[in-house]
Amino acid sequence: MNIPNKITIARICLIPFFLVLLLAPISWGDMIIASETIPVTHFIAAIIFIIASTTDWIDGHYARKYNLVTDLGKFLDPLADKLLVSAALIALVELMLAPAWIVIIIISREFAVTGLRLVLAGGGEVVAANMLGKVKTWAQIVAISALLLHNIPFSALSIPFATISLWVALIFTVWSGLDYFVKNKQVFLNSK
């Protein structure tokens, strides 16, 4: 297994640590950031999420730079992203920091696209993520990171950055999902 794929697997392995810190009844006290009080465990969980999310860029960059792109990597990388993002969003609903209906739409899109990828893979076609899908992923990462930090005000104007970024992530999620299905409509047109 090459280094980019190992990095991707490490991203998946960080998910349980992230969830334990975020959801387990562990108390390491609170901290104040920009006049907002947040549990230390939530701050550490946010850092783990950001680190895990950053590995998405690292493994992709390394794979392209050293020509280590593999079918396994094309499969594992988006799967790791979906696992990390889905776990974080579900945890945010549990913590009442994100509305369930937005999370349901985002996760439904992820399942639908993954299902389409499996159908395409069954036909021998492995499709890597396109640029719109990557923008969607980063929009989700920014929104989740902001929500994990309990919507700390972005500026002195108290702009609800996490709320705005969640809406942006939702828009890119729906847009990229529609784009993915339109570009692969032959799967539906050629089915019996």
Q: Per 3-state DSSP, what percentage of the chain is helix, strand, and coil (rounded to 5)?
A: 70, 5, 25
What's the pLDDT at 175? 96
Residue 190 pLDDT > 60, yes or no?
A: yes
How many domains in the chain?
1
Distance in angstroms (rounded) separating the CA atoms of residues 90 and 32: 25
Percent of the chain clearing pLDDT 70 (strictly above) = 92
Distance in angstroms (rounded) separating the CA atoms of residues 132 and 28: 39
Region 174-179: what's the mean pLDDT? Answer: 94
CATH of the domain at 14: 1.20.120
Give the pLDDT confidence of 130-163 residue by residue, as tens digits. Answer: 889 889 989 999 999 999 987 665 554 455 788 8
* Structural domain that includes position 154: 3-189
- Dihedral sign from CA coordinates of 123, 81, 112, 172: negative
Give the pLDDT confidence of 68-115 residue by residue, as tens digits. Answer: 888 888 778 888 988 999 999 999 999 998 999 999 999 999 999 888
Residue 148 CB-half CA count within 13 A? 28
pTM (2 d.p.): 0.86
- Specify the DSSP class assigned to residue 32: E
What's the pLDDT at 152? 60
Higher-confidence residue of 125 and 47: namely 47
- Torsion, Cα 176 14 66 124, to 10 degrees, reads -50
Output the DSSP codes for 120-159.
Answer: HHHTT------HHHHHHHHHHHHHHHHHHTT---SSTT--
Kindly report the CA angle at 77 between 15 and 7, in degrees rounded to 5? 65
Place of tokens 């960080």: 14
Query: Which residues make Cβ contacts (< 8 Å) with residue 53, sequence separation at least 6?
Result: 84, 141, 145
